[in-house]
Amino acid sequence: GAVVSQHPSWVICKSGTSVKIECRSLDFQATTMFWYRQFPKQSLMLMATSNEGSKATYEQGVEKDKFLINHASLTLSTLTVTSAHPEDSSFYICSAREASWLYNEQFFGPGTRLTVL
Amino acid sequence: TQLLEQSPQFLSIQEGENLTVYCNSSSVFSSLQWYRQEPGEGPVLLVTVVTGGEVKKLKRLTFQFGDARKDSSLHITAAQPGDTGLYLCAGQHLWGGTASKLTFGTGTRLQVTL
């Protein structure tokens, strides 16, 4: 399958600071990337969908000013958690797909664990 | 609102046993995918099913898509400790050639012990 990487794999930050998470497609061009959030022992919750070169589409209840998404190239999307608070602590996972794929599968990154102190 | 309900939510079995995980919805999906996720990692795609009634096998795993494309099942034969993980189904719609976002199931946590 296609390979998606995330960086960093884990991050600890102080409350009030901003944290940037990178998501890269390593062997394909990701026309669409997705950002998910996962709480312990729960399923994935979609936060936003981003298409290269356009603004991200956020799911209901997700603050777009708090979770800034940039999809500036076909291989890179970034999620910036601004003014992070302890309740933002979670496992953040990105996925990516290419428009030409027959079944429109998404391939997921390994995730980034964010802990806000 | 979760549109895909998985059952059971949690399953603890011994090595060698068989099991079935169900994924049910009231919606019709164009395709359905199954993922396995291990702690601290991202989900890994196992299979995609697209045709009603379709059956796909992946070694000891058998996946079936319901005739009406509203439900799916995953059957594992002779489970091994390496099968331990969170199993997620995810449905997708296709409108005019454009794929929708994935709708994830509630998840089934499988634990296989020696």
pLDDT band at B54 (very low <50, low <70, confident <90, very high): very high
User: Which of A6, A34, A110 is the closest to B101 by Cβ?
Assistant: A34
Q: Are strands B31-37 and B44-49 parallel, antiparallel or unpaired?
A: antiparallel
Closest CA to B6 of B26, B25, B29, B22: B22
Are the beta carbons of B42 and A95 separated by less than 8 Å? yes
User: Which of A44, A45, A105 is the closest to B45 by Cβ?
Assistant: A105
Are the beta carbons of A43 and B94 separated by less than 8 Å? no
Closest CA to B108 of B79, B73, B82: B73
CA-nearest residue to B85 within chain A is A41
Q: Is the pLDDT at B58 greater than 90, yes or no?
A: yes
Closest CA to A21 of A57, A70, A60: A70
Q: What is the pLDDT of residue A82?
A: 97
Angle at A91 between CA A109 and CA B102, to 5 degrees: 55
CA-nearest residue to B110 within chain A is A41
Q: What is the mean pLDDT of residues A66-75?
A: 92
Distance, CA of A33 to CA of A76 (rounded, Å):
9
Tokens of A97: 């797909």
CA-nearest residue to B99 within chain A is A104
Summarised one tens digit per residue, pLDDT across range A25-54 is 999 898 899 999 999 888 999 999 998 888
